[in-house]
Amino acid sequence: MPNAAEQHFQGGENVKPSLIDTDILSLFFRNHSKVADRFASYLVQHKKINFSIITYYEIVSGLKHRDAYKKMSQFLEFASKNSVFPLTEKSVTVSGEIYAELRKEGNPLDDIDLLIAGTAIVNNMVLITRNKHHFERIRKLEVENWSSPYYGEPLDVLLGIFHDDGSFITFYYDSRRFEVLKDSEEK
């Protein structure tokens, strides 16, 4: 009998290769149930988790700062069994183009995020991040949030409105619930 992850793909669903951002990888190492389940489903089809050398740097620097030797060992073992994507001339060039475009629009992102985005775009991958609204400014980038309680659930209606104070309110509706989520990141 197939496990839950295998059942997820029985319908022939083809999941695009994904690049995992630092925040999602950190949740995975903290045993976040939604993220861990999504990793398991993804691995049925793709066999390895992909992340950038920038994410590798962010995880290593954070663990070294905290002197977390046991977690460092676990991370290094995890990295050795998965795929760490390097920066290339092509990915850095794409990142530079995105920087220029966003800067002209008055909506820049920090360099680390641009380098991760460039790596995902050049390798034709979906970027998996909790900072979905942050990265959605990049037109060529496909973004998903595997930690969201709504990830992968069919919704009958998705509606968003701007409130008078500039905040964005998202309404998610399906036959089981009606919930309003206020995203404090958007103003």
pLDDT by residue for the chain (187 residues), tens digit each? Answer: 444 444 444 444 567 999 999 999 999 999 999 999 999 999 999 999 999 999 999 999 999 999 999 999 999 999 999 999 999 999 999 999 999 999 999 999 999 999 999 999 999 999 999 998 889 999 899 999 999 876 665 544 555 666 677 666 665 554 444 444 444 444 3
State how far the Cα of 11 lies from the Cα of 7, in Å rounded to an integer.
8
Dmax of the chain from CA atoms? 55
- The predicted model scores a pTM of 0.76
The confidence score (pLDDT) of residue 54 equals 98
Q: Among all chains, which residue has been given the structure tokens 């939604």?
A: 34
Q: What are phi and psi of 52, to 5 degrees?
A: -90, 165
19 beta partners:
50, 127
DSSP-derived 3-state class of residue 164: coil
The confidence score (pLDDT) of residue 43 equals 95
Q: What are phi and psi of 172, to 5 degrees?
A: -110, 130
Q: What's the token pair of residue 149?
A: 């309680």
The confidence score (pLDDT) of residue 186 equals 42
The confidence score (pLDDT) of residue 132 equals 86
The confidence score (pLDDT) of residue 15 equals 78
